[in-house]
Structure 1
């Protein structure tokens, strides 16, 4: 441990919650093994450093000479995600190069840069200029990465753009996915999406190593496929959040206490926890169908409705008068929860989720069955694996999400029909625990990763 003192790792996350959280978890893992960590973060969505006292944060200013951050202007909120990522990369390319050079020039030995895969070319050139080795963190699963990497090929084979008549057709190049499962998103710049995919692959292959928040047993076939094609070392050391150094004491705020107290009053495995992540939004009509479906299922539910989730409507304004009062103690609607704590609570019996990779891993680790309603990109791939490969969830497609279908699916998961799924969930929970234990695959890969990073300046 002592030999690593004074050795720094610089990290560069993408400024979205689903990307920042695993980067922070990885930072804790590195810190626990004696490295100091500096996080370079865009001025856009800059986090509160007070929440992360173990690390040093540096702000990367935007490059707009006019002074106003183009990513916070009114039109940015309505921009499609592909266009937004393009603008993000353009806005911070030169400021990142300058910030990295300044950080390296501070004198402390820098072992490497760990950057989010989406940044890629921005970080590759900058790292080469200052002579720092670059590793890549990929925040999606191995299976979804394989599918995303295949997008240019699938376009050439006419699977893309997706045709409604082919939605249920099997994609033989990336089984078990169907056409409707391909990791695409609505965008006015489809060619840019393919360029991002190509850039991620080339950037990963030109790096000094790729870190994955997954574990061998969960995605063994995808890992074998990627390993056979990869030119660089691969380190599947997940689930990040379950490493001992990521289990931290927390101080609860008032809202968390209220939520925990409500959960404590519910029967074991009786509550449906509902959350669709930090980016997805829905129409008011969809919101109302979800609300009535939850209500009519007669199952206790904890529903996270974050501000901005319903397009064009303030928080719960769309609900009929008296709806919240009518559900009483049967349901609870909140703006935010500590998801890790909620999924670990004995009262939670199912998780209705958008199938983001972080949420998927967290649910697997707690043995909680999933109801899958993916919204975009890798979420479709994750949902297919949850339902058909790992057999730990049931599908509830967004296009079929009326109140009667919602009620039917929720009841089926929470009754005896869901017992087989629940049994598989407990098996995967145990497998995840084993991989993190002494001699487990993730533990072994972590030791290899630490040795790999230390070798950079030897």
Structure 2
């Protein structure tokens, strides 16, 4: 009876892309599906699975039907050491290209796995456009998982369609993105290089966006109250079916232990005691949290400007620095860390921080963010306003959402969209600009108070939307019911044949 019951259960396979910004929200989404009665299989390589397997085992032991199916990453074939399987592990452009080549080489074995697993639906990252054909061969729906905002997708769509950035007199001349509900001005320098002009990257990115239009629908880690205008635009004008089920990080990680270790090989909560004690010693809303996500490693000269900017602002801060201490040739950062410890004004975290846990502490009053969608959504969920410092990819679009639409962001003045490895001295953000942005965000002006109020209101909405009866909750249930109906219809059609 039990095997018959599990056979009748809806089976959904999730295929995440091995980069933290893509993988973490998809793993959380997969876990939320399992928590609502779906039989879930996640396909991942060994090293990537090690960062989330403890959560999967815990869910499984709690009675949810969820498992990881491991596949072998072709490390030797692409010339990488064992265990280097995630984009965040790349320390050079050469290593980045080797990892992406290794991921592409997995296609055949993943397609074989799809056939073996015989799922009722596949949810795959946008970076696997070929899975549209895989799903068609199996006669099942393919759901496109977009790991950023509706706003960024819509903006990219209309920039691609109408090319408002062509024929401008200079790289810094502003243009308006057509067809959006708000007036959004950008420059060519804000665009990803494949959008500015056709190049080798265009041929890689175009199919990713086109695959959304050829899918059964799109799944978004967002919520109605945050981007309702752009959710509507995506569904109506662009014409793609979609479901917002975010913020999934809050939905899937409700206890402190999980918040402390999300997206990382698990450590004991006790490892963070010193940090949490430091936070507890600070007044409410007095600490600025500074983090540039899992990928970005800023050049040393920019780190020096950040250090001076934070110190000169006079505010308490926590700063997560990705660069290895050994790269600090002058010993500047270590000297700075020592000085901040003595003054008790700043707390430096090297490499990785328990961000979900930190953001919820009452002492945190705001965040400096690169505008990656995960950090943005986690900050919104915590009700925090942001200093926006986009670096590359779609981050400059997300900045516009935060600053011009939601009005919960203060721009620091980043001007050029390019990989962090190529940032030149001329393009750096100076300490004076950092101080100015911190004073607006953490200050006591009317503008600052109103920004904090708007952020708190969105934080409340983020918590309500995943509760029973909320928008995201209802969207998830509706999608699961729809997929169950498709499974039943297919079974009936097979019986007739």
Fold agreement, TM-score > 0.5: yes
Q: Are residue 284 (structure 1) and residue 309 (structure 2) matched? A: no
Aligned residue number for residue 108 of structure 2: 94
Given the superposition, is the C-alpha separation of residues 237 and 322 from structure 1 closer, same or farther in structure 2, using an over 3 Å criterion?
closer
SS at match of 1:397: coil
- Paired with 1:156 and 1:63, the residues of 2 have a C-alpha distance of 42
What is the rounded CA distance, in whole Å, between the counterparts of 1:378 and 1:163 in structure 2?
21
Structure 1 residues 65 and 396: CA distance shift in structure 2, 3 A? closer
- Asked whether the 8 Å contact 2:73–2:102 carries over to 1, the reply is no
Match runs of 1:30-69 below 5 Å:
30-42=33-45, 45-48=48-51, 49-53=53-57, 54=59, 55-62=66-73, 66=77, 68-69=79-80
1:40–1:60 CA contact under 8 A, matched in 2: yes
Post-superposition CA distance 1:7-66 (Å, at most 9, x none): 321110010111111111111111111122111124574534234313322233346884
Which structure 1 residue ranges, 5 or more long, are not aligned? 105-109
Query: Per-residue deviation at 1:254?
Result: 4.0
Partner Cα distance (2:6, 2:330) in 1:
53
Q: Distance in 2 between matches of 1:316 and 1:299?
A: 27
How far has the Cα of 1:151 moved from its partner?
4.3
- Look up the match of 2:213: 205
Task: Report the CA distance shift for 1:307/1:99 in structure 2 as closer, same or farther (over 3 A).
Answer: farther
Shift of 1:76: 6.4
Counterpart for residue 29 of structure 1: 32
Give, in angstroms, the shift of residue 115 of structure 1. Answer: 0.5
Matched with 2:473 is 443
Summarize the alignment of residues 328-347 of structure 1 with structure 2, pairs less than 5 Å apart: 328=341, 329-335=344-350, 336-347=352-363
Shift of the 159–446 alpha-carbon distance from structure 1 to 2, 3 Å rule, reads: farther
Report the counterpart of residue 392 of structure 1 in structure 2. 408
Task: Give the structure-1-normalised TM-score.
Answer: 0.86
Decide whether the 8 Å contact of 2:365 with 2:442 is kept in 1: yes
One of 203, 217, 232 as aligned partner of 1:195: 203
2:451 match: 421
Does 2:136 align with 1:128? yes
1:361 aligns with 2:377: yes
Map residues 65-80 of structure 1 onto 2, 5 A cutoff: 66=77, 68-69=79-80, 77-79=91-93
Asked if structure 2 preserves the Cα contact closer than 8 Å seen for 1:15 and 1:46, the reply is no
Note if contact 1:288-1:318 (Cα within 8 Å) is conserved in structure 2.
Answer: no
Moved more, 448-457 or 61-70: 61-70
1:117 aligns with 2:126: yes
8 Å Cα contact 1:80/1:186 also seen in 2: no
Q: CA deviation at 1:407?
A: 1.7
Contact 2:158–2:178 (8 Å) recurs in 1: no
Partner of 1:171: 177
Alignment partners' CA distance in 2, 1:455 and 1:317: 63
C-alpha distance in 1 between matches for 2:204 and 2:158: 12
Q: Give the Cα separation in 2 of the matches to 1:408 and 1:98.
A: 55
Give yes or no for contact 2:80–2:98 (8 Å, CA) kept in 1.
Answer: no
Residue of 408, 425, 440 corresponding to 1:412: 440
Q: Secondary structure at the match of 2:172?
A: helix
Whole-Å separation in 2 of the counterparts to 1:65 and 1:321: 37
* Distance (Å, rounded) in 1 between the aligned partners of 2:295 and 2:161: 28
Q: 1:225 to 1:279 in 2, by over 3 A?
A: same
Which sits farther off after the overlay, 287-296 or 430-439? 430-439
Please state how far the C-alpha of 1:382 moved relative to its aligned partner.
0.9
Give the match for residue 107 of structure 1: none
Deviation per CA, 1:85-123, whole angstroms, max 9, x where unpaired? 86355322222212322333xxxxx221110112112x1
Distance of aligned partners of 1:82 and 1:229 in 2 relative to their CA distance in 1, 3 Å threshold: farther
**2: distance between equivalents of 1:189 and 1:77?**
27
Q: Distance in 1 between matches of 2:406 and 2:196?
A: 34
- State the number of aligned residues: 445
Q: Post-superposition shift, 1:320?
A: 5.5
CA RMSD for the aligned pairs?
A: 3.3
Q: 1:165 to 1:35 in 2, by over 3 A?
A: closer
Question: Does structure 1 retain, via aligned residues, the 8 Å contact 2:159–2:165?
Answer: no
